[in-house]
A and B are shown apart, each in its own frame.
Chain A
Amino acid sequence: MSSGFLDRESTIAPPGYNRFLFPPAALAVHLCIGQAYAFSTFNLPLTKLLGITHSAPSDWKLTDIGWTFSIAIVFLGLSAAVFGSWVERVGPRKSMFTSALCFGGGFIVSAVGIHFHAIWLLYLGYGVLGGCGLGIGYISPVSTLIKWFPDRPGMATGMAIMGFGGGALIAAPLSILLMDHFKSPTSTGVLESFVTMGVIYFMFMMIGVLVARVPAADWRPAGWIESAHRKPLVTNANVAVDMAWRTPQFWLLWGVLCMNVTAGIGVLGQASPMIQEIFSGKVTPSAAAGFVGLLSLFNMGGRIVWASASDYLGRRYTYMVFFLLGIALYSLVPWFGHLGSRALFVAAFAVILSMYGGGFATIPAYLRDVFGTMNVGAIHGRLLTAWSVAGVLGPVLVNYIRQFQIDHGVPKAQAYSITMYIMCALLLVGFLCNFAMRPVNEKYHYRGREPASTPAK
């Protein structure tokens, strides 16, 4: 039976294919969906759709708009978990195409919602449809990258997941540029920007769709011989996705990811007010925006640097570094604030955010080490529910604890100290989860044969 252009069988690479052609395909998708981190650029303009220069009484409230991002992150985790096995089965091309349809379509549906001033369409478009595009797009290249780079899985997945961090760096100035271009006395320019971004992102993601190729089942990098001496925790067996989540290792890694993300995501969301309040009168709003930008850069850079380093350090030791160094830095941050040292404060958070990004980028390779390559994409999809939980837990912890302290008379400059110590406690939980990691019991190993694939004609 002949296979369609999007089918996995059509994407099996012929002999001699350059494996370094696949990372740009993965990056094309991740650079687009990383836009999610910059959604806040639209927050204020979305509150002025009717008033244009100011918020009219019937305009949407900031708290209502804030739900859009939260819904998108929840649907990212849910869709990654639900569609993980499907993504694994159909391969990267069809899943990237689906992601492009959902993500680009999400912008268009949201634009319709803006036109009719119906917030439920914004939730449905960017939140639900866009969120599914995020989840499917995020996991679509991961297992293929691991198969193309069995010698450097950390570096390979780090490269793609770096794109997710980098996507915000592109989307933030692009959104401002587009809104400025389309702004008129009768429009904030958001609707037109949404339509333009939907089309641009769909087309850019199509680069990934066109280029995506999977290696043949028996393909190995030229000259690469699998080491007979495997590192501890690294297996050459496979665990099926439906079995993996029944193992303690899955839940320990779920805890590792959830704690690492919770500790970083809350700070990322509150970075601007935090530095202004801790260094009251010394940091302007514009300098605080610079601080947020710097953290985004380290978040992106940490993804490729730490994930590549994990190929040499081993995944378990890399996370040990994240948790121990994170605990040390979080406990020092209040002291840096008391000293009034902006440089030390910024440096500490730069390293913390690099490890936040590194945690995301290293986890697929950790899963491959523990559960094998067979279903690593689907297992990764299920593990991403930890991100959904952390996406709610992190900001809630930082915001509510800060508010609780201010309500009880603590000066704003000191209101973050307790939060930092709570972050240390979370990281300690993550450290213990990682410390408890052991190889998966053989009873969970997959006994059948992996599905074979032959090169496309």
Chain B
Amino acid sequence: MKVRFIVLWAAVLIPLAWGVMKTLQNALKLFN
């Protein structure tokens, strides 16, 4: 159950973190 919990949350949070990182990179241009 614990492994399933970690795998599931990783499956959704990793793409989300990638999207947030890409957006932040873009957002930083506003302050340059």
Contacts and interface: CB of A to CB of B under 8 A. Distances in A.
A20 interface: yes
B12 A28 contact: yes
A291 B28 CA distance: 9
B30 A21 contact: no
Contacts of B16: 27, 31, 163, 166, 169-170
B25 to A, nearest CB: 8
A173 interface: yes
The majority secondary structure among interface residues of chain A is: helix
A30 to B, nearest CB: 9
A18 B9 CA distance: 13
B4 A290 contact: no
Contacts of B30: 283, 287-288, 290-291, 294, 342, 346
Contacts of B23: 169, 172-173, 293-294, 296-297
Contacts of A397: none
Given A21-B4, A207-B8, A207-B11, A289 B20 contact: no
Contacts of A290: 26-31
A115 to B, nearest CB: 28
B2 to A, nearest CB: 9
Interface residues of B, number: 22
Contact of A21 (B5, B18, B26, B28): B5
Interface residues of A, number: 34
Contacts of B12: 24, 27-28, 31, 163, 207
B27 A293 contact: yes
- Which of B15, B18, B24 has the most chain A CB within a 10 Å cutoff? B15
A389 interface: no
B8 A170 contact: no
A136 B30 CA distance: 36
A297 B25 CA distance: 12
Nearest to A168: B19
A123 to B, nearest CB: 27
Interface string A171-187: 11110000000000000
Contacts of A288: 30
Nearest to B28: A290
Given A287-B29, A297-B27, A169 B8 contact: no
Given A18-B1, A173-B19, A211 B29 contact: no
A3 interface: no
Interface in A321-366: 342, 346
A227 interface: no
Contacts of B18: 170, 173
Nearest to B16: A166
A28 B22 contact: no
7 contacts: A163-B16, A287-B32, A289-B26, A291-B30, A294-B27, A300-B20, A342-B30
Pairs A-B, 9 closest by C-beta atoms: A169-B19, A170-B19, A290-B30, A290-B29, A173-B22, A24-B8, A294-B27, A293-B23, A293-B26
Interface of B: 1, 4-5, 8-9, 11-12, 15-16, 18-20, 22-24, 26-32
Given A289-B29, A290-B28, 9 more contacts: A21-B1, A21-B5, A24-B11, A25-B8, A166-B16, A174-B19, A290-B30, A290-B31, A297-B20
